[in-house]
Structure 1
Amino acid sequence: MKPRLVLSYALLVLIGCACLYPALWTVLSSFRVGNSLFSDHFIPTKWTLDHYRDLFRDRDTRSIPYATWYLNTLKVSTVSMVLGTLIQLLTAYAFSRFRFNGRKSLMTVTLILGMFPGFLSIMALFVIFNTLNLLDTQWALIIVYSAGAALGMFVAKGFFDTIPRSLEEAARIDGASHMRIFTNIILPLSRPIITYISLTTFAGAWVDFIFARMILRTPEKWTLAVGLWNIIDAYNSTEFTLFAAGCVLVAIPITTLFMYTQRFLVDGLTAGASKG
């Protein structure tokens, strides 16, 4: 075996261990008795499900059920996924198929804006939502996630560029409109890229903390990221095993979706990257 190949495998093993260890530590900590962050044993000597039960139990008058945060996050992520996917697909289709004045300039501006971290606009968004009286509403969060998703439409545009234009020309001869071509021809052929865009938009909204913490103020409206942060935010808080249990439940939907749609993700990403 060539030394370069051995080195590559060794590097992949190290990367795999570095990625797997924190996740495995979090899962095992969620079953550990007590609430300590550290333990002498990597594998718990005593196992318990009490932390998972505590997540769905009101421990005092100030606590908010974990299920409320879960449902809030599911609602925000689902609506953001639908709107964000629709915006990205329509934007990508327009850039891919239409030729209009300022097309290249708009694409350049969109690409440049996509290079900057989203949280750089946090102060501007705060002022806008405060002026519109939208602070502490989940719709404000949905607007942020849906509008921000449009900056990632370049992969979809690359995928649309691979679809033969002859299909659209034949449909136009038969009298089909642009919207009918988009819905009846383009979308059925774009299942891989739709899956990729939908999942990445859903995952981004599901795990986001920065914008959710800035917009949402009422505990009943918090998402999972903000709620879990609040569990260990207090100076004297020691609920680390409870936090770990909450993190495990957060990871289950995303992990399941990624495993189920892995083939479509690979197809969508590779096809979308073949043209620009």
Structure 2
Amino acid sequence: MHDQRKRRIAGDIVAHVFLAILAIIWIIPIVWVFLESFNKNPAPYQNTFFPTEYTFDNFVKLFTERNVLDFPRMFLNTLIIAIFVCLISLFFVLSVAYCMSRLRFRGRKGFMNVVLILGMFPGIMSVVAIYFILKAIDLTSDGFTILALILVYSAGSGVNFYVMKGFMDTIPKSLDEAAMLDGCTRLQVFTKIILPVCRPMIVYQTITGFLTPWLDFVMAKVICRTQTNYTASLGLYQMLQKEYIQSWFARFAAGAVIISIPIAILFIVTQRFYQESMAGSVKG
């Protein structure tokens, strides 16, 4: 018994040391980017790993010197796209998931199988086809680029309903039946019974719907042609090009820190909803 206890303690120590090493490896790049954003030296090469002189000028110049790279405009473009895509995709996913979970109709299983098969192919395979479709309907011109990105990101979001549907399948149908006996319509069952119970999954879909356009680079690179329509990811990419990197590298790090702020705020605001359970549903 004594030897078994020693082996258990030794195993715990090894596991904690291993996890601590992984945590340090994971956090070092984050700390480096954060410190680099305050680096007084704007060039990418220096003698020390961490900066030795610090300044807040990188953040100030990022938002004031807009004649070369207009980062505030790019940030605003990305924020507008992400908010609209988040709302539209949430509506699509909830609607499709509810129909697939609660309704029975001809072609339901076939539709789900087709969606499952299509989901096995990476989305990047359709980039060229999407671009020519948008070009054919003249949505690649300067005035419609943001609209085109919103349509592209949100158009296929309804096919990501499997996780939401799986969660809705765990909700007892007796709740629906009891509500309908009390005079509720399908819409009232959806809004007053299903949605409150699905709050944790709604939070998940909200975060996913926001992060997809917020972090995407490939689709934005294909569609956006002029700097006025660039997203933040394209702006950060431009800062690393050879004509900018010597004077913009520290501002690139500052931009990376700023990009992470809305994501952190979104997680902080929505994390409490993960604790919601069946107590959130009401009948009436």
Quick check: TM above 0.5? yes
**What's 1:83 paired with?**
88
**Structure-2 separation of matches of 1:201 and 1:160:** 19
SS in structure 2 opposite 1:39? coil
Cα deviation per residue 1:185-229 (whole Å; 9 max; x = unaligned)? 211222111111001110111111111111111211211011111
Which of 243, 255, 266 is matched with 2:252 structurally?
243
**What's 1:257 paired with?**
266
Would the aligned equivalents of 1:26 and 1:248 in 2 still touch at CA under 8 Å?
yes
Cα deviation per residue 1:128-149 (whole Å; 9 max; x = unaligned)? 1011111141111111211232
Q: Letter of the aligned partner of 1:214 in structure 2? A: V
In the alignment, is residue 24 of structure 1 matched against residue 3 of structure 2?
no
1:266 CA drift (Å): 7.5
**Structure-1 separation of matches of 2:222 and 2:213:** 14
TM-score (norm 2): 0.86
**Structure-2 separation of matches of 1:28 and 1:108:** 49
Would the aligned equivalents of 1:159 and 1:193 in 2 still touch at CA under 8 Å?
yes
In the alignment, is residue 158 of structure 1 matched against residue 166 of structure 2?
yes
Which of 35, 38, 44 is matched with 1:37 structurally?
44
SS in structure 2 opposite 1:135? coil
Would the aligned equivalents of 1:95 and 1:103 in 2 still touch at CA under 8 Å?
yes
**Structure-2 separation of matches of 1:155 and 1:107:** 12
Would the aligned equivalents of 2:85 and 2:153 in 1 still touch at CA under 8 Å?
yes
**What's 1:113 paired with?**
118
Q: Letter of the aligned partner of 1:18 in structure 2? A: I
Alignment RMSD (CA, Å) = 2.1
**Structure-2 separation of matches of 1:113 and 1:20:** 36
**Structure-2 separation of matches of 1:77 and 1:236:** 27
**Structure-1 separation of matches of 2:272 and 2:15:** 24
TM-score (norm 1): 0.88
Q: Letter of the aligned partner of 1:47 in structure 2? A: Y
**Structure-1 separation of matches of 2:194 and 2:89:** 18
**Structure-2 separation of matches of 1:11 and 1:190:** 36
**What's 1:273 paired with?**
none
1:236 CA drift (Å): 6.1
Would the aligned equivalents of 1:193 and 1:264 in 2 still touch at CA under 8 Å?
no
1:242 CA drift (Å): 1.0
**What's 1:139 paired with?**
147
In the alignment, is residue 69 of structure 1 matched against residue 74 of structure 2?
yes
Cα deviation per residue 1:169-197 (whole Å; 9 max; x = unaligned)? 12222343222221222112221111110
**What's 1:8 paired with?**
15
1:36 CA drift (Å): 2.3
Q: Give the length in aligned residue pairs.
A: 266
Greater shift in the superposed pair: 79-88 or 194-203: 194-203
In the alignment, is residue 47 of structure 1 matched against residue 54 of structure 2?
yes
Would the aligned equivalents of 1:91 and 1:150 in 2 still touch at CA under 8 Å?
yes
**Structure-2 separation of matches of 1:37 and 1:77:** 30
Unaligned segments of structure 1, at least 5 residues: 269-276
SS in structure 2 opposite 1:176? coil
Unaligned segments of structure 2, at least 5 residues: 1-7, 278-284
**What's 1:57 paired with?**
64
